[in-house]
Homo-oligomer: A and B are copies of this chain.
Amino acid sequence: MVVAIGKVLRFTGVSEALDALLREVSIQLEGEVVDILDAVGRYSFRDYTSRVDLPPFDRSAVDGVATRFSDVVGASESSPIALKLVGSLDTDSMEIPTLGRSEAVLVSTGAPIPKGADVVIPIEYCVVRGETVLVYRTYPRLANISLKGEDLVAGDLIVRRGTKLRPWHIAALAASGYEEVEVFRKPRIAVVNTGDEIVRGVIPNTTYFIISSLVKEIGGEVSYSTIVPDNVERISEAVSEALQLSDMVVVTGGTSVGSADLTSEAILRLSGAREVFHGIRIKPGRTAGAYVVEGKPVLAVSGLPVAAFVSLNLLLVPILSKLYGSPPEPKPTTTGILTRRLANDVGFRSYYRTIVCRDRNRNLIIPLKLTGSGILSTLIRSNALLEIPEEIEGLEEGSEVVVTLLGPIVECSELPQVLLDIGLPHF
């Protein structure tokens, strides 16, 4: 082994790097048909429009008395109006009567409205006496009636291509009689882990597990995975094979510029491979690189788990968003008071692992002291990530900051013993 600086990384700005990557990615995901009940959480492959009117007919929004508006004008507590009860309608009634003057029909919530009726008086304002109903209140025309098509009219767009399907989309699709939905098939992501130390089991391959779990969380599937030693040919072969079996490849390890950092060279040996960037202005994860081979992204990330997670998350989310043609789903965030000053290496976007805890009526944001790219416990012990933008020199103690939540907020008073060495501040 010879330690030597073969190459100095040029760190590309985050936006520039992402723009360049998205320009180069030209893969497309096909659709697949799934049962409507399995479609929640998947991304729709096409636009869907309603095939029905909802409600399918004018119906009552309350239990009450359906009648003509003109027949109950002026009804009040002191001067009720008497109507002739000519029937009743329930939610499943099929024969719809026509009302004559001063006639009324009892309707339950959801029941069709008789022809000629244009108002429903809630039952609380009516007294039924045999064939007669006394009405003690009037309402505006069309009050308490859900009009046919007021929810959806046949032809209304109910799901746009690229929409993440939520329960209401499934319900609207079901209302139109769709039993199956065409969704984007899950992106197939291959993971190639490099490193003599993991081949030989000297250290556990935590990075593989953090990455493959991330792939699942964001809706992809790990289609292939392998571990290869620090050898250019072997890495190159593995990436080549991975590309056959996936839409994109993640290579872990070998991204910095030490002697054994061969990933870049190995990828660039592949026919048609191009470097998009190698080095990106984020911390942790700045040694990440991105390449394309025939439009498929090959993302090279650090072998250290935290750096791998942060950089891969940053790169994968916009790629998936491009594939689906829709913006990324929002993530849970919160605001709080920063408990100590944090410096930033200007020009880099930094991600600090923090603990958010509830202290009376506000949150405290406590940055963890350990920050290493390999320190898995920083993610285990934190419940939020604090991003410091590139142009900021640092964040002052006591300033209000926004964090992305990784888990539930805890009570400051219940912070586990293991965190007490962090030194809770005296705010």
Query: Which A residues lie at the B interface, using CB under 8 A?
Result: 1-5, 36-37, 40-41, 52, 54-56, 61, 63-65, 88, 90-92, 94, 106-110, 123-124, 128, 146, 150-152, 156-159, 163-164, 166-175, 177, 195-197, 199-200, 202-214, 216-217, 222, 256-260, 303, 305-306, 309, 326-334, 370, 372, 374-377, 379-380, 405-410, 416, 418
Task: Find out whether the CB atom of A171 lies under 8 angstroms from the CB atom of B94.
Answer: no
* A330 & B332 in contact (Cβ 8 Å cutoff): yes
**B203→A377 contact, CB < 8 A:** no
Q: Is the CB of B174 within 8 A of A205?
A: yes
Knowing that A92-B202, A159-B380 are A-B contacts, what are 4 other residue pairs whose CB atoms are under 8 Å apart, sorted by A's residue number?
Answer: A5-B123, A37-B209, A63-B258, A168-B305
Q: B259, A167: Cβ atoms under 8 Å?
A: no
Partner of A167, one of B168, B209, B416: B209
18 CB-based A-B contacts, threshold 8 Å: A2-B88, A3-B106, A4-B123, A52-B204, A63-B259, A90-B260, A109-B258, A110-B203, A158-B377, A167-B214, A167-B309, A168-B306, A168-B379, A175-B204, A175-B206, A327-B409, A327-B410, A330-B409
A164 and B1 within 8 A (CB):
no
B88→A203 contact, CB < 8 A: no
Measured between beta carbons, the chain B residues less than 8 angstroms from A408 are: 326-330
Contact of A37 with B212 at beta-carbon distance under 8 Å, contacts A146-B372, A172-B376, A203-B91 already known = yes
What separation, in Å, do the CA atoms of A329 and B2 have in the docked complex?
Answer: 49
* Bound-complex Cα distance A36 to B376 (A): 17
A212–B35 Cα distance when bound, in Å, is 13
Residues of B within 8 A of A107 (CB): 3
Contact B199 A92 (CB under 8 A): yes
Q: How far is the CB of A269 from chain B (nearest CB, A)?
A: 22
Query: Which of A56, A206, A379 is most buried by chain B, counting CB atoms within 10 A of its CB?
Result: A206
The one of B303, B374, B405, B418 that contacts A151, using a Cβ cutoff of 8 Å: B374
- Residue among B172, B197, B380 making CB contact with A169, cutoff 8 Å: B380
Q: A3-B106, A123-B5 are in contact. Are A170 and B88 (CB under 8 A)?
A: no
B residues less than 8 Å from A379 (CB atoms)? 166, 168
A175 in contact with B376 (CB, 8 Å): yes
Q: Determine if A90 and B330 form an interchain contact, defined as CB atoms under 8 angstroms apart.
A: no
Whether A5 touches B175, Cβ cut-off 8 Å, given contacts A92-B196, A405-B330, is no
The smallest beta-carbon distance between A88 and chain B, in angstroms, is 5
Q: Could you tell me the distance in whole angstroms from the C-beta of A362 to the nearest C-beta in chain B?
A: 14
Complex CA distance for A197 and B91, rounded to whole angstroms = 5
**Contact of B109 with A256 in the complex, beta carbons under 8 Å:** yes
Taking CB atoms, residues of chain B closer than 8 Å to A199 are 92
Closest 6 CB pairs of A and B: A91-B197, A167-B213, A168-B379, A92-B196, A330-B332, A63-B258
CB distance from A109 to the nearest CB of B (A): 6
Measured CB to CB, the nearest residue on chain B to A216 is B40
Q: Are B376 and A171 in contact (CB under 8 A)?
A: yes
**Chain B positions within 8 Å of A124 at CB level:** 5
Inter-chain contact A258/B108, CB cutoff 8 Å: yes
With both beta carbons as reference points, the residue of chain B lying nearest to A353 in the complex is identified as: B168
Q: A210 with B168: in contact, given A91-B203, A375-B150, A377-B152 (CB under 8 Å)? A: yes
Contacts of A206 in B (CB 8 A): 54, 171-172, 174-175
